[in-house]
Structure 1
Amino acid sequence: MKASDLPRLPSRPGVYLWKRDGRVIYVGKAKNLRARVNHYAHGEDKAGRIFAEADALEFIVTRDEVEALLLEANLIKAHRPEFNVLMKDDKHYPFLKLTNETFPTLVVTRRVEDDGARYWGPFPDAGAVRRIKRLVDRVFPLRKNSGVPMKKRRRPCLNHAMGRCLAPCVGRADPEAYARVVRRVEQLLDGRVDDLLEELAVRMEEAARAQHFELAAELRDQIRALERFFASGQQAYAVGLGDLDAVGLARSGAYAMVQLFQIRGGRMLGRTSRFVENAGEATDAEVLEAFLRDYYLVASPLPPLVLLPLATEGQEVFARALAERAGRKVELRVPKRGEKVRLVQFASENARAGLEVELARLEKRGDHPALASLQRALGLARRPWRIEGYDVSNLFGTAVVAAIAVFEGGRPKKSQYRRMRIRGLAGKPDDYKAMEEAVYRRFTGSLQTKMESPDLLLIDGGLGQVRAAQKALERAGVSLPLVGLAKREEVLVLPSGERVMRPLDDPGLRLLIHLRDETHRFGLAYNRQLRGKKTLKSVFDDIPGIGPARKKVLLERFSTLEELRATPPERLAELPGMNRRAAEAVLRHLNEAAARS
């Protein structure tokens, strides 16, 4: 699609849909449609790829940003576009529903309708829904589900005989008494347990003073049942916190987990979580907004305060949308201090633990999407369960080191990371020879017996490094598939010279980028350890205008002479503390030094 193909959009709020071959690939909302969509025509990274892949654009004008948010949520659920951040759990979670009738009943449902009923949920744990439903059925004489709407019966059921139902289906229930029971159930489900217990205690004492001992005993049993239920597994917080939700976020490569804790009256009443598998290029804010859209636009009841781990661009719009749903103010806030900060940290810790569980489950099933993608892209005989990444790091021929990082099942296995010094190249930077030596030593020395054989080797570099690694494997008498990953281009390079292009959101490529960056980080840390302060002071001493601050920036960004010399001056000038004059001075000095040698 070309920028000239874009229709002239209005400068109004709305929703836009990018399409490819008639299929929606991305849905977005905007305060100003014209400005937002024009950004895609000139954008980079994800926005630029969406624009490049799309062949059509549709848009819908809305009255305001809140209406755009609601419409965006509905369209994402309907189309599930590949470029939107999608929650893994798109199944309908159960809700508890108090029907809109003269004599309401509590039922479990997976569909929220605009029928005047009250809904609580969604509950990610169906077992928790059943436990709450059983508690209500046991403690409160609410009619059991004898039909919705209520059907007339000729005789009361067994629940009435057991004192667990007021029998409205046979006309025996007093509407006012039944309404009091309904109000208590609502108190319970709203999380106002302390208020409910206090009210029941007052009524129990009044019944006892009036010598209504059967009623007093019934109320006593209700109090005990509620106290037992909410005493088990409940973590207490300061009552002064009031009613709020605390949201935590954890990331691991293309995967993310969002965890929410519901605090009502200083007591944790429940939690929910969402696992995201396609968050490779999404920012933390985009993942968080996807959760807010997926959960809060259907959740009920809504708390007056939602604590977030970070601010998002659409935070105010979400707050207005939730306020309209709740009929009162709902604030979304990033806490700065105190117990609220600790609550968000606690939610984030649980999100990390939940993410570990999900990733372990994927590994156990062998369902990591990146492994299947790599198998297809590289034509491998089996999924590359164990991948070893190789990188060489040096500072202009000094402190030459090689690093090996290991991923198993798509995740780092840091206990298997290895590093080695490459000797014999001092003053003569040769990344090819260093790579060859590193791979050869891995498969002929002590590491051959200490480490399991990999399914795939990833070489940090282009065709030269890949062929050096292939030569080392041939010398060692080992046959293994290997692939290189060239920097900046992010193109896969095979020993044959074939270049394999993959979209940047491909899970296999994202995994290799993660492994490449992890290997580079590990090797660079060792290189810096060996260099010491002496090297840091000496490399750029002869270049005018390069002081300690600029030295530090350059040494943190570049690990080899070739990498630095290949950087265009305009990109070098964009580094913190650098400018065009300093960038040109550095490159001129290095080129003159290379010419003299």
Structure 2
Amino acid sequence: MISNIFRLNKIDFSKNNLNSVPEIPGIYIFWKENSALYIGKAINLKKRIASYFSLNLYEKTKRLIREVNYFSFIKVNSNLESLLLEAYLIKKIKPKYNVSLKDDKNYLYIKITNEKYPRVLTARKKDEDIKDILFIGPFPSANNVKIFLKSIRKIFPYSDHNLQKNKCLYSQIGLCDPCPSEIEIINNLDEKYLKIKEYKKNISLLKNLLKRRVKSIRKYLFREMKYYSRLQKFEKALDLKTKIENLDYITQATIPVKYYIENPNLYEDIRKKELNELKKMINQFYNLKYEIFKNKVNYLKKLNRIECYDISHFSGNFTSASMVTFINGVPEKNLYRYFRIKQKLGGSDTDSLKEVALRRLKYLHIWGSPDLVIVDGGKAQVSAFTKIFKEYNIPVVGLVKGKKESLVININLNNRKNNDNFSVIKIPYGNALNLVQRIRNEAHRFAQKYHHHLFNKSLIPER
């Protein structure tokens, strides 16, 4: 399986070849002929590899670069996947410069002790003599490990301290909950038993997350949420719902590392499956409408370019809109645009989208034409965009949250004055859902980024 890594496409290590590197998460490998010299991870592959062409490099990095002939990369879905894949490949391949740096202070293991109240710690070295202790790693970046542990501690609180007389500071902000020190002073045996059980369950779920068993964790949390909802313990159910949302955010459809090893082109294959599934789902819907109404309707002949729009504001103030563009399922940040909404205070999201659609229309030929437009919203938002884009035969769909994400489609039939004919498609879990959620989340992030910029700018008095 590891032999597939050595068959990766090797690109000449030259600044001129940076254009072939995408701006997405992944791992990169530096080669000297067919020997792996160094394996690293990146949130943005292009920027990370470009940094090695800087003149201000540390001496040990300069020694590495002098030996590099080629580089390769593997694209992944999320930062978590790149972190775990990097650690796995370093452990299996043992590249020259990764191994030589193992004594460097940056290398860390995640360590889970085997005690009455297991603690989650970090360690510089893996002690092979100590039994029944789980070590995950090594991870080259101590900072990445600490950020990762900080993220998952909000979902599965854990202890990193010895037992003490009073509960710890972290227990007061929900990061060590229940705190072992607090459990130990409980006199009621039934209550104490339940608290111990809760703590150990957190540790068990955390171990499963580190072993990349994300689907089983999500199913468990979802079952628990439904259980507490039936008991009308809504506060507990809401807490579990928040855990699920946070888990989804940090994992982002995490795929087991072994699949990337078996197929280094897995990222591209997943993107193709996502696009094909979404295209098929929308086309099946349009074809059904065609049979019912015997009328020609828009449908997707190709799905290479998708644009998504979102609105962000604070009580109608500092309203901004985003346009994010995905080419073949991958974000193309050079084609991102943001809009400062010009309408007066009090305009609705629908009015803002109408303004954005009209402004987008002016640049249709300059910026390029999308094959599909997604708006964050329902019937009103879809209708706002469709009425402006209708004559250009560009399909527009809305994405609505609920128990299940749904696509809202406006079918324009017979060119009637009142031509809003909406249908709703529930999107099943799978490739199409992963794609539209990823696009919508990126549009939301980009809109909020510009909204915050406008807000912060307003705090600085003009001279």
Structures share fold, TM-score greater than 0.5: no
TM-score (norm 1): 0.34
Higher gyration radius (CA): 1
TM-score, length-scaled by structure 2: 0.43
Structure number with greater CO (CA < 8 Å, separation at least 6) is 2
